[in-house]
């Protein structure tokens, strides 16, 4: 991971969905850190991943954003870096 000293940043997660339960059973989420100078870094690998509802999307904490669609509904996907920075994305799974 590249460290940019003195730059502020934020984390975004993609893709936004919605996802179809009847389609592909898996999805890979990506976390991108964007710095105040406009540069970006893919931080999917080092991020710790979580889903607020495992009954909608089950995400593997340390597998770079790999997830399985489990049921319909809405959940929040979270990517947390060791620096404490957090990115969130609310997604919906439809039938």
| Domain residue spans of the chain | 9-94
Average pLDDT in the chain: 91
Distance between CA atoms of residues 75 and 57, nearest Å: 7
pTM score, two decimals?
Answer: 0.88
- For residue 7, what pLDDT is reported? 63
Asked if 61 and 49 count as a contact pair (C-beta separation under 8 A), the reply is: yes
- For residue 4, what pLDDT is reported? 47
Q: What is the pLDDT of residues 27-62, one digit of tens each?
A: 999 999 999 899 999 999 999 999 999 999 999 999
What are the start-end ranges of the E strands in 1-95?
9-14, 19-20, 26-28, 30-35, 40-42, 48-51, 57-59, 66-69, 73-80, 86-94
Q: What is the pLDDT of residues 2-12, one digit of tens each?
A: 454 556 789 99
Band of the pLDDT at 23, cuts 50, 70, 90? Answer: confident
Domain with residues 9-94, CATH architecture: Sandwich (2.60)
């Amino acid at each position: 991971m590249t460290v940019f000293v003195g730059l502020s940043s934020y984390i975004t997660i993609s893709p936004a969905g919605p996802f179809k339960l009847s389609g592909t059973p898996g999805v890979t989420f990506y976390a991108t850190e964007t710095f105040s100078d406009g540069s970006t870094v893919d931080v999917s690998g080092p991020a710790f991943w979580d889903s607020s509802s495992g009954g909608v999307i089950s995400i593997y904490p340390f597998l770079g954003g790999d997830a399985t669609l489990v049921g319909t509904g809405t959940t929040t996907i979270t990517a947390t870096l060791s620096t404490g920075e957090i990115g969130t994305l609310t997604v919906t799974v439809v039938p």
